[in-house]
Amino acid sequence: MAEIRTGELMNMKHGRPPVLMPGFSFGSVTDKIANIVIAERTPLAWWLTFLPCAMLVGVLGTAVTYLFYRGVGIWGINIPIGWGFAIINFVWWVGIGHAGTLISAILLLLKQTWRSSINRFAEAMTLFAVMCAGMFPLLHMGRPWLAYWMFPYPSTMTVWPNFRSPLVWDVFAVSTYFTISLLFWYVGLIPDLATLRDSAVNRWTRMIYGLLALGWRNSARHWRRYESAYMLLAGLATPLVLSVHTVVSFDFSVALVPGWHSTIFPPYFVAGAVFSGFAMVLILAIPIRKLYGLEELITMRHLDNCAKVMLSTGLIVAYGYLMEAFFAWYGTSQYDKYLSWNRAHGPYAPVFWLLILCNVLIPQLLWLRKVRYTPALLFVVSVFVLMGMWFERFVIIVISLHRDFMPSSWGIYIPTRWDWAIFAGTLGFFMAAFLLFIRLLPMITIFEMRMLVHETSEEVKAS
């Protein structure tokens, strides 16, 4: 009998490309993804990206060692700007870490089939971004070896954490988010690890993937519990995604500092997080699909959808900026009014205007179909969005702190080379970890692609 293949169209209406190009069978879609890991040679481009990133990891190690030796005085932070790069980068990385679980959990519950090709690597991206984020509060502590004081445990000092502080909430929010994202990612990987075990030719490869696959044997009884567990995790992760950046925004909005004490912070932070997360997904997906020839699996439809999510969350973020200005103008606080003026005209005004350019003006290009369907342009817009979101955190932290209530306590913050070294180091760590992931694990969920082949096949459509 004829082999099952994907049907001609998933959704060609309105001239949109399908989520999986026609002509794939269970076997060919499996080989396409699994062979990247187990059969093909590592592409030269992989090495050319990995080596500089690995060097940046070395820079990170050096900078952190020196930081532990000398203390946080090597950074540009001072009083009043005690937070500086450490917290800017923390918030930025956590924000990027939102797209993964959003794609895997919320889009799963909404039955969006286009999530299948991008959820695995978006989840990996989430994990690495949250790792980068997690480093910063630890490094910022000054005495990172006492980090365990943040957790409630019966200590000989008989003191306990202050559970009324958003900083303690943050410890719980970020660590829970990381753990649940890791579990979600690993559960998704189990059947694919079994596929790698069964396709491996080399004995060691088979043993390693076999151990990681936990003996998964594709039993229907197992699949049933597996699907229940996966849906439950999606349901649990959905409110979690929204809660993480909400809690991060409480770190600011619960304080009284002008520019922080605002009720719009939670939704505006969550939208900003999704905005930057999808920008990172596009930045990773566009070169990868080209390099590994995955255009038939990660189609223009995926890029188009990501761009639309970016555009809509970008508009929410822009609305947030508008409302901050409106509250300052309409409210009665002279400090809020001054803050708004200071953002646009003070010593850090260029950063504020760059933020408006990158986050509000440039993303409007995404209204044009031509931009959404040209990967190179989409890539450039995404880079601007990521820079814009970083500037946003700079504006929120540095501009708000550097001039608060009393002019006698005003100050200026200038990041040092060590600030930059650690930031660049985490960028290198993120990319190096991500490259290792695409080299060692299937970057697209193979069994879900087989499901997609099944659902779109002529056999099912005929019945």
Partner 1 sequence: MTPPVYGLMAEFATAAELLQATRRAYTEGYRRMDAYSPFPVPDLAEALGVHSDRVALLALTGGLLGGSGAYGLQWWINKIAYPINIGGRPLHSWPSFIIVTFEMAVLFAGIATVFGMLALNGLPMPHHPTFNAPGFEGASRDRFFLCIEAIDPRYDAAGTRAFLEGLNPAKVVEVAN
Task: Give yes or no for a contact between 182 and 206, defined as CB atoms under 8 angstroms apart.
Answer: no
Residue type, 56: L
The smaller minimum CB distance to partner 1, of residues 50 and 186, is found at: 186
Task: Give yes or no for a contact between 102 and 241, defined as CB atoms under 8 angstroms apart.
Answer: yes
- Asked if 26 is part of the footprint of partner 1 (rule: CB under 8 A), the reply reads yes
Q: Which of 8, 9, 12, 27 binds partner 1 (CB under 8 A)?
A: 27
Which window, 25-33, 58-66, 315-323, 387-395, contacts partner 1 (CB under 8 A)? Answer: 25-33
Q: Which of 92, 128, 216, 434 binds partner 1 (CB under 8 A)?
A: 216
Which window, 35-43, 192-200, 370-378, 419-427, contacts partner 1 (CB under 8 A)? Answer: 192-200
- Asked if 112 is part of the footprint of partner 1 (rule: CB under 8 A), the reply reads no
- Per DSSP, 409 falls in state G
CA distance 271 to 316: 6
User: Which residue shows structure tokens 């699949």?
Assistant: 223
* Size of residue set near partner 1 by CB under 8 A: 65
Which window, 276-284, 404-412, 421-429, 448-456, contacts partner 1 (CB under 8 A)? Answer: 448-456
- Asked if 172 is part of the footprint of partner 1 (rule: CB under 8 A), the reply reads yes
The alpha-carbon radius of gyration of the chain (Å, integer) is 24
- The least distance separating partner 1 from the CB of residue 223, rounded to whole angstroms, comes to 4
- Asked if 204 is part of the footprint of partner 1 (rule: CB under 8 A), the reply reads no
Tokens of 202: 């080399």
Q: What is the DSSP string of 294-357?
A: -TTTS-HHHHHHHHHHHHHHHHHHHHHHHHHHHHHHHS--HHHHHHHHHHHHSTTHHHHHHHHI
80: cis peptide before it, omega within 30°? yes
| Helical H segments across 71-118, by residue range | 84-96, 98-101, 107-109
Cβ neighbours, 10 Å, residue 170: 19
Question: Hey, which residues does 457 pair with through a beta bridge?
Answer: 6
CA distance 134 to 172: 12
- Asked if 253 is part of the footprint of partner 1 (rule: CB under 8 A), the reply reads no
The smaller minimum CB distance to partner 1, of residues 116 and 426, is found at: 116
3-state secondary structure of 202: coil
Task: Give yes or no for a contact between 10 and 22, defined as CB atoms under 8 angstroms apart.
Answer: no
3-state secondary structure of 6: strand
CA distance 21 to 29: 11
Q: Which of 228, 263, 333, 334 binds partner 1 (CB under 8 A)?
A: 228
- The least distance separating partner 1 from the CB of residue 2, rounded to whole angstroms, comes to 10
CA distance 107 to 93: 22
- Asked if 458 is part of the footprint of partner 1 (rule: CB under 8 A), the reply reads no
- The least distance separating partner 1 from the CB of residue 458, rounded to whole angstroms, comes to 11
Instruction: For CA atoms 289, 290, 296, 300, give the dihedral sign.
Output: positive
- Asked if 247 is part of the footprint of partner 1 (rule: CB under 8 A), the reply reads yes
- Asked if 461 is part of the footprint of partner 1 (rule: CB under 8 A), the reply reads no
- Per DSSP, 397 falls in state I
User: What's the residue count for the chain?
Assistant: 463
- The least distance separating partner 1 from the CB of residue 309, rounded to whole angstroms, comes to 24
Which window, 114-122, 174-182, 283-291, 387-395, contacts partner 1 (CB under 8 A)? Answer: 174-182
Q: Which of 81, 173, 279, 328 binds partner 1 (CB under 8 A)?
A: 173
The smaller minimum CB distance to partner 1, of residues 402 and 450, is found at: 450
- The least distance separating partner 1 from the CB of residue 253, rounded to whole angstroms, comes to 13
- Asked if 276 is part of the footprint of partner 1 (rule: CB under 8 A), the reply reads no
* 93 alpha carbon, distance to own chain's centre: 7
- The least distance separating partner 1 from the CB of residue 177, rounded to whole angstroms, comes to 8
- Asked if 414 is part of the footprint of partner 1 (rule: CB under 8 A), the reply reads no
Q: Which of 239, 293, 331, 347 binds partner 1 (CB under 8 A)?
A: 239
Binding residues for partner 1 (CB under 8 A): 1, 4, 25-27, 30, 152, 158-164, 168-169, 172-173, 176, 179-180, 183-184, 186-187, 191, 194-195, 197-199, 210-211, 214-229, 232-233, 236-237, 239-240, 243, 247, 250, 447-448, 450-451, 454, 459, 463
